[in-house]
Amino acid sequence: DAKTTQPTSMDCAEGRAANLPCNHSTISGNEYVYWYRQIHSQGPQYIIHGLKNNETNEMASLIITEDRKSSTLILPHATLRDTAVYYCIVPGTYKYIFGTGTRLKVLA
């Protein structure tokens, strides 16, 4: 399973874009990148996933580099409710292994 590396914490001003990076240099050609977030002590929430093309949904955008060794989750207009821990995951066939994620704090 490919391992991921994320910064421990980040701050973002409310209303600005939050860009959360993730390195996954050992990703293989058919492995997807998934992003989840966990608000306070709730269960994690799926955000988005992608293989090699950029993806966008109602929550966020995912930009994957051409060599697929890193990706960036973009929250276009962060709100206070986006304060959470964000996890980048490259799962194996069946196993989802969560790392420690990035703690994003959105500042008023």
107 touches another protein by CB under 8 A: no
Q: What is the DSSP string of 70-88?
A: EEEEEETT--GGG-EEEEE
Give the total of residues touching another protein (CB under 8 A).
Answer: 22
Nearest approach in angstroms of CB 87 to another protein is 7
Q: In what order do the strands lie in the sheet with 70-75?
A: 18-23, 70-75, 61-64, 55-56
**Which among 18-26, 62-70, 75-83, 90-98 is the span making contact with another protein, rule CB under 8 A?**
90-98
Q: In what order do the strands lie in the sheet with 45-50?
A: 9-13, 102-107, 84-89, 33-38, 45-50
Pick between residue 11 and residue 46 the one whose CB is nearest to another protein. Answer: 46
Give phi and psi for 82, each to the nearest 5: -85, -5
Q: Which 8-67 positions form the footprint of another protein (CB under 8 A)?
A: 32, 34, 36, 41-47, 49, 51
- Beta bridge partners, 13, equal 107
Pick between residue 76 and residue 92 the one whose CB is nearest to another protein. Answer: 92
Site residues, another protein (CB under 8 A)? 32, 34, 36, 41-47, 49, 51, 85, 87, 94-101
